[in-house]
Amino acid sequence: MLFVVPPLAGHVNPTVAVGSELASRGHRVAWAGPYGVLAGLLPSHARVLPAGEPTGGGYAALHERWRDLRGVAALRFLWDEALVPLARAMVPGVTEAVRAFRPDVVVADQQALAGPVVARRLGVPWATSASTSAELTGPFEGFPKVGEWVSGRISALLAGFEADGSGSGPRSVPGSLSGSVPTTVPGTGPGSGWDPRFSERLVLVFSTPELVGAEREFPDHYAFVGPAFGSRPPSPGFPWQLLDPGRRRVLVSLGTLNREAGGRFYAAVAGAAERLAADGVQLVLAAPPALVPGPLPEGTLLQDTVPQLDLLPHLDAVVTHGGHNTVCEALAHGLPLVVAPIRDDQPFVAQQVVAAGAGLRVRFGRTRAEELRDAITAVLDDPVHRRGARRVQASFAAAGGAAAAADRLEKLA
């Protein structure tokens, strides 16, 4: 099994758990992608085949330009400056990796478009790793021109690979993301050609209908396996002894990519902290200390990084930007959420949380301390949010996680 992944922690993490499960069953497992980043995200024993090493300023420079973008500007940047160039850069390395490793199945993340292109060209079965469910829910149904623009970018990419002989022929990309088929799945309609984001044989969705939306219809090859949790790099030095068992504990985290853009949001957190402390709430704030204005109330834990998976069983709620991994990890522990989405898939994930009754949404860029405090208090005090979170938690537990994903991949092989 060859996992083809982008250099993003949230997209790599589920494959770690699935890869470990497959390895325990006797399968050979490897990853293909930018080696310098993947080596820091994968276990030390993982086999990494380099593909798409950065040039120029590398991914740090790309992130610096992307960090403050919002809305359509962020979407354009994602495709024009990140996903399309990454696909082109990764194709030679992925081609070499497939020829050298000779996988029975390529498992390609939705944002690693080189994987499906190479798999189709070399005749290897491929599956989609849907590390976020936003693409499955018709995100552009209300914005057909945006959906058409994304489809056009994909079509142009595939046509370019055909022109230089490095990919499959140019095919039309389905228009359902533009809103023309709001209750079906992209890439499954008659005559729709193919879409490298959606395998026609297996799509592993690391969520469940209880969160994605049970009203949508999905074909049998969409496997809702729930979250798959793998090992993470250690986060040493967390002051476990300072967690107060007499207070309700709330984690505030904007993830790994968005934390530097959180200055205004951290100010709202700091403003809400005093009142929350008086109400018996202890905040655990994962943020760059230089961006958080002080002083913070006694007992507030400000840490540059936290061991999130280890910390979640000790919490009562989570405040997040809406990253799919963090949301699913919190819900897997039955924790209600306050979601402050920033860009990309995050608004759609936040909408799923609210629709599932598992939390509330606030504005990232304009939320005030009072609004944030009230939202945190509501998810802690109103049992409806915890009941919603526990419904999703039960669905995750029943879905099977990494073991269920491995079962489906074995059947595909």
Strand spans (E) along 34-188: 48-50, 106-109, 126-130
Angstrom distance (rounded) from CA 37 to CA 50: 10
Angstrom distance (rounded) from CA 229 to CA 401: 8
> pLDDT tens across 320-355, in order?
999 999 999 999 999 999 999 988 889 999 999 999
Is there a single domain that holds both residue 296 and residue 184? no
Say if CB 322 and CB 340 are below 8 A apart: yes
Say if CB 309 and CB 232 are below 8 A apart: yes
Q: What is the pLDDT of residue 283?
A: 97
- 403 belongs to a structural domain: no
Pairing of strands 222-224, 248-253: unpaired
Cβ burial, residue 241 (10 Å; 0-12/13-18/19+): exposed
How many helices, marked H, and strands, marked E, lie in the chain? 15, 13
| Residue labelled with tokens 């758990």 | 17
- 234 belongs to a structural domain: no
- 377 belongs to a structural domain: yes
Is there a single domain that holds both residue 301 and residue 181? no
Residue ending a domain, among 205, 231, 264, is 205
- 407 belongs to a structural domain: no
Q: What is the pLDDT of residue 233?
A: 64
Residue ending a domain, among 205, 228, 257, is 205
Q: Which residues, in sequence order, are bridge partners of residue 248?
A: 281
Q: Give every CB contact of residue 263 below 8 A, 6+ residues apart in sequence.
A: 291
243 sits in the region (left: phi over 0; alpha: psi -120 to 50; else beta) called beta
Residue 125: CA count within 13 A, CB half-sphere: 13
Report the Cα 166 to chain-centroid distance in Å. Answer: 28
The two three-digit tokens of residue 402, written as one number: 């990494």
Indicate the DSSP class of residue 312: G
Where in the sequence is the domain holding 48, given as residue range(s)? Answer: 2-205
Residue 46: CA count within 13 A, CB half-sphere: 32
Is there a single domain that holds both residue 172 and residue 304? no
Question: Omega before 125 cis (within 30°)?
Answer: no
- 7 belongs to a structural domain: yes
* CA-to-CA separations, 403 to 126, 227, 328, in angstroms, rounded: 18, 11, 17
Strand spans (E) along 192-238: 203-205, 222-224
Is there a single domain that holds both residue 141 and residue 32? yes
CATH number at residue 393: 3.40.50.2000
Residue type present at position 146 = V
Strand spans (E) along 110-195: 126-130
Q: What is the pLDDT of residue 199?
A: 96
Is there a single domain that holds both residue 143 and residue 64? yes
Q: Give every CB contact of residue 352 below 8 A, 6+ residues apart in sequence.
A: 133, 137, 211, 212, 213
Is there a single domain that holds both residue 50 and residue 183? yes
Indicate the DSSP class of residue 29: -
Q: What is the pLDDT of residue 161?
A: 82
Is there a single domain that holds both residue 27 and residue 77? yes
Q: Which of 331, 308, 319 is nearest to 133 (CA)?
A: 331
* pTM of the predicted model as reported, rounded to 2 decimal places: 0.86
The domain tally of the chain equals 2
Is there a single domain that holds both residue 301 and residue 186? no
Low-confidence ranges of the chain (pLDDT < 70): 55-70, 142, 163-193, 231-235, 257-262
Is there a single domain that holds both residue 137 and residue 257? no
The two three-digit tokens of residue 285, written as one number: 């704030």
Is there a single domain that holds both residue 170 and residue 272? no
Angstrom distance (rounded) from CA 150 to CA 148: 5
Residue ending a domain, among 156, 190, 205, is 205
- 133 belongs to a structural domain: yes
